[in-house]
Chain A
Amino acid sequence: MNWRGALTIYKAEMARTGRTLMQSVLAPVISTSLYFVVFGAAIGSRMESIDGIGYGAFIVPGLVMMMILMQSVSNAAIGIYFPKFNGTVYELLSAPISALEIVTGFVGAAATKSLILGALVMTTAAFFVPMEIQHPLAMLAFLIMTSVTFSLFGFIIGIWADNFEQLNIVPMLIVTPLTFLGGSFYSISVLPPFWQTVTLFNPVVYLISGFRWSFYGVSDVDIGISLAAIAGFFALCLFIVWRMFKTGYRLKT
């Protein structure tokens, strides 16, 4: 195995984050913190509590998850799209490195960035809203699984995208709506029965619900189903990436 190759990609990707600290770290932390200030501290104090949790505290897991999803997808997508765009992908394809090692390097780096951002955002949130973490290990497990899975999803988008518009279209038009409608700001139990059923087709619901359970011990759907859903999505993404490398889809001619 060429793990040194994977580590080389990982380090190069992390160095890229270091070079763009303002955009990669500061911007998502600030924008997510604004949600806490506005919805948590300002408006939240006038809202009813949900499932016995103050509104400010209720939205923290959803917001952290939203940021993690967006950042994982866009970081991993740009990570592999950029070499395709500037032509340096030839180096990856002509090096003695397997698909698994390439994916480990890119997805590992994107997931690491998401975890760092997640930690920063949760720390920031603690300044604005009272929160507790009942199941810290489960919380960490959800954070890691979500970061890795959605980085893998972003990696697929990066390979698929032929231009910058396509690169942005999936995060903007699919991930953002699914996250907003996935219970970031509300419990799905407040929806009419029909829309509750529709919502269950949104995979993000399971992530946010499970993640919120690790904080407050309450969830919209069973924690086991949440874990199964994310494991299933992970397996699906892994299969797609494997097929892409096997066939050379949009990588080789």
Chain B
Amino acid sequence: MTHETPSGSAAAVLSIKGVSKTYAGGFTALKSVDLDIAKGEIFALLGPNGAGKTTLIGIICGLVNASSGSVEVFGHDIKGDFRLTRARIGLVPQEMSIDMFTKVKDAVAYSRGLFGKPADPAYVEQVLRDLSLWDKRNEQMRALSGGMKRRVMIAKALSHDPDILFLDEPTAGVDVELRQGMWQVVEKLRQRGKTIILTTHYIQEAEEMADRVGVIRQGEIVLVEETATLMAKMGRKKLTLQLAEPLQALPEALAVDGLSLAEDGYALHFDYDTQSDRTGITTLLSNLNAAGVSVRDLETQQSSLEEIFVDLVGGAS
């Protein structure tokens, strides 16, 4: 998880500039989105329903017409050079979109053919084996479980060996076991050097898989950060000490960074970093003892990525 944030479009395999989308009904789904994605990174686009995640992916892949702005894939414009850009992109949409009466191997062969690639049974076999679908290759789609159907959609998206893979909510409505299976699939793809952009509601998913996280809210990207940086923010905790007797003010002997007194004087709040060598808790407790402040109860709270996320996406409402 040490991929660099691309600083300019030169390093980016995908470069989105000022992309906006207003639907015919007047709803504005995207407001001048800028985003660069680096080669080989796994990028999680995080946001609530209706934030514009699927619209953004739709524009890049050719399903949605942008109202303004431009998108380049490997330096090629997605409109002018659509054959070049689409040949390098694989898309797994959110909705289960399959022909129920097609056999698994035929469905994958069809996708490969659409992309103009000659049949390559060895490659298709490898894709199906990687997704644990080889044994099901002669089954009709309708005979498969939900999780398998979703994996077939990934196999179809990989059939032409794309460099960039879009996974739109790959684990929506999928049980815990399948979610973990999906994470393994993504990890394998990362090892093969694929660039993966996934959308999700789940913070855990972003943490587990992504090198970088972008938070989208009401059509605007409000934060793009390396997952590791976000995790560091998440490492902060808050210690709350319930006091036996209220304090009028914070005694000078106690004053340290991160310590504050509650308005009613009955509690002390201390923010600290769990990742650091010295959290300051021991010192604080000794100082309290020395100052004769008695503690009735204590609790700690974690400021989670979930909270950061809720703060961010709830900010405008």
Residue numbers of A with Cβ under 8 A of B are 2-5, 7-9, 11-12, 15, 19, 82, 86-88, 90-98, 248, 252-253
Contact = CB atoms under 8 A, between A and B. Distances in A.
Contact of A95 (B58, B93, B97, B114): B114
A90 B91 contact: yes
Given A2-B83, A91-B110, 16 more contacts: A2-B115, A5-B115, A8-B110, A8-B113, A19-B101, A86-B100, A87-B93, A87-B96, A88-B99, A90-B97, A93-B61, A94-B63, A95-B111, A96-B86, A252-B65, A253-B23
Contact of B97 (A5, A7, A87, A97): A87
Interface of B: 23-24, 58, 61-65, 82-87, 89, 91, 93, 95-101, 106, 110-111, 113-118, 156
A166 to B, nearest CB: 19
Given A86-B97, A96-B82, A97-B114, A253 B58 contact: yes
A126 to B, nearest CB: 36
A88 B87 contact: no
A96 B76 CA distance: 13
A8 B113 CA distance: 5
Top 5 A-B pairs, shortest CB-CB distance: A8-B113, A87-B97, A2-B116, A96-B83, A96-B86
Nearest to B113: A8
Contact of A94 (B23, B62, B106, B117): B62
Given A2-B83, A12-B110, A253-B65, A96 B115 contact: yes
Contacts of B113: 4-5, 7-8, 11
B89 A94 contact: yes
A93 B117 contact: no
Contacts of B86: 94-96
Contacts of A253: 23-24, 58, 63-65
Contacts of B24: 253
- Of A3, A5, A94, chain B has the most CB atoms within 10 Å of the CB of A94
Contacts of A90: 61, 63, 91, 93, 97
Contact of A252 (B63, B82, B96): B63
A86 B117 contact: no
Nearest to B156: A91
Nearest to A16: B101
A96 B61 contact: no
A93 B93 contact: no
A90 B156 CA distance: 12
B114 A5 contact: yes
Q: Is the interface of A mostly helix, strand, loop or mixed?
A: helix
Nearest to A82: B99
Contacts of B115: 2, 5, 95-97
Nearest to A252: B65
Nearest to B97: A87
Given A86-B98, A96-B83, A253-B58, A248 B65 contact: yes
A5 B64 CA distance: 21
A28 to B, nearest CB: 21
Nearest to B61: A94
B63 A91 contact: no
Contacts of A4: 113, 116-118
Contacts of A9: 114
A96 B114 CA distance: 8
A91 B65 contact: no
Contacts of A95: 86, 111, 114-115
Contacts of A82: 99
29 contacts: A2-B83, A3-B116, A4-B113, A4-B116, A4-B117, A7-B113, A8-B114, A11-B113, A12-B110, A86-B97, A86-B98, A87-B93, A87-B95, A87-B96, A88-B98, A90-B61, A90-B63, A90-B91, A90-B93, A91-B114, A93-B61, A93-B63, A96-B83, A96-B84, A96-B115, A97-B114, A253-B23, A253-B58, A253-B64
